[in-house]
Chain A
Amino acid sequence: MLTRKIEFLVGVFLLAGLAAFLVLVYKVANVEVQTSSDTYTLTAEFSNVGGLKVRSPVKVGGVVVGRVSGIALDPKKMEPVVTLTMDKRYNKFPETSSLSVLTSGLLGEQFLGLTPGFVDDDVATLKDGDRIYDTHSALVLEDLIGQFLYSAGSKDKK
């Protein structure tokens, strides 16, 4: 009877460990079970991606529609190329859509904002492997301050 009790307690121990693992995976890390079949891939060229990272969200009006899956430098043009993995549920974006690197809040993380463009009869929707050409780069604070100082300096001379 004693061994039965020990076995029971060991079972409880293992279950508690498993429960802790599941809590960490689903409640804390919020792992989404996502297969590759329900996503499609887009690429986009930027002149500067700023602090954008792999796994940064792609948002349309604040709704997450995909994630950045890769950032690489185009070896010929010397410009960063961002690969986006988009949710298949949102597959009706027109070709004329534009992407911009935005920041959430003053000090927050950077993300990609997708602005859907106009829809016309001869405008197709974005499909797997398409490239978005209309992009707006990240605001670099140092450049902004530099421009401001330059313009303020040239004003003084007049």
Chain B
Amino acid sequence: MRLTDSIADLGRDALGLVAGLGKAGLLLWGALVQIPRPRKGTPLLVKQIYVVGVQSMVIILVSGLFIGMVLALQGYTILVDFGTEQSLGPLVALSLLRELGPVVTALLFAGRAGSALTAELGLMKSTEQLSSLEMMAIDPLRQVIAPRFWAGFFSMPLLALMFTAVGIYGGYLVGVEWKGIDDGAFWSILQAAVEWRQDIVNCLIKSFVFSWVVTWIALYRGYQLVPNPEGISRATTQTVVQSSLAVLALDFLLTALMFGK
């Protein structure tokens, strides 16, 4: 009896997962696949880019600077033993471009903007604002979900680019200004190592994949939550946990596809 119970539980979880994916897909489909209305849509989008992107800038820039500085300092203490401290530039730039830029930005974005999106949608749902919109014949998917999705989708890659650029500057500050690596050698070795296709395009691809996933999870969790205080707090936690796990797993997959050959 216990064995059949646990098999039944497994089946229920699997069905729930598939149903969840289907609902999330329908949510995104309903929000995105429609005729664009630039006149009404643009102000909503601008407002959401402000909330999602501009307000995340400070945390992204500060963390980028510090992560670049820490990376340079740790790299320097090891590289200096081999007399190759001039390779600090590629170390910092490549680790930021290939991994840390997109991944850390996505994690911070999930914590800063994703949780806020979920909580906002949850409060809208619990105060029945979404139902009111429907009663006034306004599609909440179009009015509420779509601008938030596009804002998140386009803001996060921009944030990742800023994170990476500021991080490389942080590495420069520690390596050149503090530890006294030659300025010209730092940049020339860095420029020789970083490639447009291999590093920057892949950084952008990763950022767009992560921003898609994080924003999608945040919106789905907010739209589907149980509208009471406990439900909102649970959905917010789920947003952060699930998008972080999804980002880390996808990062491994993408890295294996891009650099595994």
Contact = CB atoms under 8 A, between A and B. Distances in A.
B partners with A: yes
A28 B190 contact: yes
Nearest to A11: B46
Contacts of A13: 49-50, 53-54, 57, 155, 158
A20 B165 contact: yes
A24 B53 contact: no
A77 B168 CA distance: 47
A3 interface: yes
In the complex, which of the residues B50, B155, B166, B187 has the most CB atoms of chain A within 10 Å of its own CB atom?
B50
Interface in B173-187: 187
Q: How large is the interface on A (under 10, 10 to 19, 20 to 34, 35 or more residues)?
A: 20 to 34
B218 interface: no
Nearest to A16: B162
B127 interface: no
A13 B162 CA distance: 10
B43 interface: yes
Contacts of A9: 50, 54
B191 interface: yes
Contact of A24 (B50, B164, B192): B164
In the complex, which of the residues A6, A16, A25 has the most CB atoms of chain B within 10 Å of its own CB atom?
A16
B47 A6 contact: yes
Contacts of A28: 93, 97, 165, 168, 190-191, 194, 200
B194 A10 contact: no
A125 B46 CA distance: 60
A107 B191 CA distance: 19
A30 interface: yes
A20 B162 contact: yes
Interface residues of B, number: 30
Q: Is the interface of B mostly helix, strand, loop or mixed?
A: helix
Nearest to A31: B196
Interface string A15-27: 0110111011101
Contact of A20 (B50, B93, B164, B191): B164
Contacts of B54: 9-10, 12-13
A21 B159 CA distance: 10
B195 interface: yes
A14 interface: yes
A29 B96 CA distance: 13
Interface in A30-60: 30-31, 55
30 contacts: A3-B43, A3-B47, A6-B46, A9-B50, A9-B54, A10-B54, A13-B49, A13-B53, A13-B54, A13-B57, A13-B155, A17-B162, A19-B165, A20-B158, A20-B165, A24-B165, A24-B200, A24-B203, A25-B200, A27-B187, A28-B93, A28-B97, A28-B194, A28-B200, A29-B194, A29-B195, A29-B199, A30-B191, A30-B194, A31-B196
Given A6-B46, A27-B187, 14 more contacts: A10-B50, A13-B155, A14-B158, A17-B157, A17-B158, A17-B161, A17-B162, A20-B161, A24-B161, A24-B168, A25-B196, A28-B190, A28-B200, A29-B191
Interface of A: 3, 6-7, 9-10, 12-14, 16-17, 19-21, 23-25, 27-31, 55
